[in-house]
């Protein structure tokens, strides 16, 4: 009888320990920053999070940017989410995480194996799809250039119609030209903040910078 009771107590303790370990890793905070090579007059517009600033400081010698500001933040345990950038541009984020060794509950001393993807919404998934989009893109750009050339002579309802058509083509072109931006695999510790990667925008004086924080809970 004592043996059964002892086993019952031991099992209850084991379940409690495992449950605590499983809940110690709460999730991930994803921060999307805009980095600029020209320093902002008012300085950085970053949250006062020491871990975030430390992560940027650790890689400052590898980044060309002098100032940063937050575009969007998202919270997730894994899977997918969508983030917003400049000029209504949206980005898809995919996060896959497991522990090392695989399958074990994550405690404060474990290692997280992370696979992170960031892409513009609608990005082609392979080179064949990219090639297939090249012809429609060329045609849409031709149509847009023609409409822009007609704008100075358009009036009234015709002017408004042409502006709306140009705006529609801009949206279609953005979707058709969507790119994969960051594809990264790395390891991190619970509670750590890392710079996942960067991606240049436009002429290169601006760029996206992604930071990931592994948020833990419990004691």
Which has the higher per-residue pLDDT, 2 or 33?
Answer: 33
Give the per-residue pLDDT at 8.
38
Give the per-residue pLDDT at 29.
93
**What is the average pLDDT score of the chain?**
80
Q: What is residue 40's three-state secondary structure? A: coil
Between the CA atoms of 140, 141, 142 and 147, what dihedral angle is there, to the nearest 10 degrees?
90
Give the per-residue pLDDT at 6.
38
Give the per-residue pLDDT at 128.
80
Mean pLDDT throughout 57-81? Answer: 89
User: What angle do the packed helices 127-150 and 156-176 form, to 10 degrees?
Assistant: 160
Residues 6+ apart with CB under 8 A from 66: 36, 37, 38, 39
Mean pLDDT throughout 67-82? Answer: 92
Is the model's pLDDT at 201 over the cut of 60?
A: yes
Residues 6+ apart with CB under 8 A from 213: 28, 29, 31, 51, 52, 192, 193
What's the pLDDT tens digit per position in 29-68?
A: 999 999 998 865 555 666 667 888 888 888 888 888 888 8
What's the pLDDT tens digit per position in 140-157?
A: 889 999 999 999 998 888
Give the per-residue pLDDT at 196.
95
Mean pLDDT throughout 152-169? Answer: 90
Give the per-residue pLDDT at 44.
60
What's the pLDDT tens digit per position in 86-130?
A: 888 899 999 999 887 666 666 667 889 999 999 998 887 777 877
Q: What is the pTM of this model?
A: 0.71
Mean pLDDT throughout 75-90? Answer: 91
Give the per-residue pLDDT at 211.
94
DSSP symbol at 62: G
């Amino acid at each position: 009888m004592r043996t059964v009771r002892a086993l019952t107590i031991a099992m209850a303790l084991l379940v409690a320990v495992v449950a605590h370990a499983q809940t110690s890793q709460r999730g991930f905070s994803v921060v999307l920053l805009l980095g600029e090579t020209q320093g902002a007059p008012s300085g950085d517009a970053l949250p006062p999070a020491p871990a975030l600033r430390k992560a940027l400081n650790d890689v400052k010698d590898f980044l060309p940017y002098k100032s940063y500001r937050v575009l969007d933040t998202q919270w997730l345990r894994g899977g997918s989410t969508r983030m917003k950038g400049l000029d209504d541009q949206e980005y898809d984020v995919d996060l896959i995480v497991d522990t090392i060794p695989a399958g074990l509950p994550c405690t404060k001393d474990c290692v997280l194996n992370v696979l992170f993807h960031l892409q513009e919404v609608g990005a082609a998934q392979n080179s064949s799809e990219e090639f297939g989009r090249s012809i429609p893109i060329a045609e849409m750009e031709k149509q847009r250039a023609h409409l822009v050339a007609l704008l100075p002579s358009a009036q009234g309802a015709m002017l408004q119609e042409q502006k709306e058509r140009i705006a529609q083509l801009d949206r279609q072109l953005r979707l058709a030209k969507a790119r994969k931006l960051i594809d990264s695999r790395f390891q991190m510790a619970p509670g750590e903040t890392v710079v996942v990667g960067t991606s240049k925008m436009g002429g290169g004086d601006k760029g996206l910078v992604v930071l990931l924080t592994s948020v833990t809970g419990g004691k």
